[in-house]
């Protein structure tokens, strides 16, 4: 039945981020504090990624979306598994209790609302709650999906498919989705800074 719903409500059009876009002011023109203030929220509740990139050294290659994203991804890739797990666990449940209580970051709130998760029917909301609980019970961290451009019915279908994966596959997929979210957020920052 869910597949029929997905066919009636296909994914919202996903626009590909413009990786060639640059920031104004350029990241290399910012102080460490300003850099972290601007980019520290790209990875949910994890400013340490931007801090470590700054401390490692940024150059003009990081002044565009693609270069900065690559640099931030590199920091995450070299992080310990415990640090990566902490980042994954920093993400809210989709259509979860934090959303109901108004505790989402502005980015997460906007992304979830853009996917229509704030418009769930009672049945959809209950289904998200059941899936969130089962997923966290199985994997020990929340289900993560870059929801921008997707409809909630397609998100539910993806959720149902991924809950059958093994823990290593889901850990890797969670990090992949987090990097996708970061790219979308960087693109939005660049677009709003020009």
Q: Could you tell me where the beta strands, DSSP code E, fall in 127-179?
A: none
In a domain, 125, yes or no: yes
Position 11 scores a pLDDT of 40
In a domain, 21, yes or no: no
* 66 within a domain of the structure (yes/no): no
Both structure tokens of 177: 């989705």
Say what the pLDDT of residue 96 is: 63
Residue 135 near residue 159 (C-beta atoms within 8 A): yes
Residue 69, domain member (yes or no): no
Q: List % helix, strand, coil for the chain (3-state, nearest 5).
A: 65, 0, 35
Residue 127: per-residue pLDDT: 92
Catalytic (active site) residue 91: yes
pLDDT over 70, % of the chain: 83
CATH number at residue 112: 1.10.3330.10
What is the structure's pLDDT at 104? Answer: 58
Residues contacting residue 154 through CB under 8 Å, at least 6 positions apart:
6, 9, 10, 11
Q: How far apart are the first and last CA of the chain?
A: 44
Higher pLDDT, 105 or 66: 66
Whole-number Å distance between alpha carbons of 99 and 58: 35
In a domain, 78, yes or no: no
Both tokens of residue 35? 């850099």
The greatest distance separating any two alpha carbons of the chain, rounded to the nearest whole angstrom, comes to 53
Residue 138 within any structural domain of the chain: yes
In total, how many domains does the chain have? 1
Q: How far apart are CA 67 and CA 73, in angstroms?
A: 10
Averaged pLDDT score across all residues of the chain: 86
Return d(Cα 69, Cα 182) in angstroms, integer.
7
151 within some domain: yes
The average pLDDT across 23-46 equals 97
Task: Count other Cβ atoms within 10 Å, centred on residue 89.
Answer: 14
* Within a domain: 44: no
146, pLDDT greater than 80: yes
Bridge partners of 64, per DSSP, are: 22
Per-residue pLDDT at 138 exceeds 80: yes
Report residue 6 as tokens: 């997905």
- Domain carrying residue 129: 2-9+92-177
Mean pLDDT of 70-95: 94
Query: How crowded is residue 35: how many other Cβ atoms within 10 Å of its Cβ?
Result: 20
Catalytic residue (one of 62, 91, 127, 151) = 91
Stretch 81-110: mean pLDDT, rounded? 79
pLDDT score recorded for residue 169: 98
Give the tokens for residue 120. Answer: 């769930």
Q: Which of the two residues, 116 and 102, has the higher pLDDT score?
A: 116
The pLDDT of residue 111 is above 80? no
């Amino acid at each position: 039945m869910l597949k029929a719903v997905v066919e009636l409500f296909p994914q919202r059009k996903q626009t590909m981020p413009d990786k060639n876009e640059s920031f104004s002011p350029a990241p290399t023109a910012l102080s460490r504090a300003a850099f972290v203030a601007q980019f520290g929220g790209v990875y949910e509740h994890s400013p340490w990624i931007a801090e470590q990139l700054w401390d490692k050294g940024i150059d003009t290659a990081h002044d565009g979306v693609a270069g900065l994203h690559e640099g931030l991804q590199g920091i995450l890739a070299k992080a310990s598994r415990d640090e990566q797990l902490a980042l994954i666990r920093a993400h809210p449940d989709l259509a979860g209790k934090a959303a109901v209580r108004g505790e989402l970051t502005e980015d997460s709130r906007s992304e979830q609302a853009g996917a229509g998760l704030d418009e769930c029917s009672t049945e959809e909301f209950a289904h998200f709650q059941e899936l969130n609980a089962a997923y966290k019970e199985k994997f020990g961290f929340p289900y993560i999906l870059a929801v921008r451009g997707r409809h909630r019915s397609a998100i539910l279908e993806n959720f149902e498919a991924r809950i059958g994966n093994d823990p290593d596959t889901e850990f890797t997929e969670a990090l992949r989705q987090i990097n996708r979210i970061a790219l979308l957020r960087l693109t939005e920052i660049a677009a709003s800074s020009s």
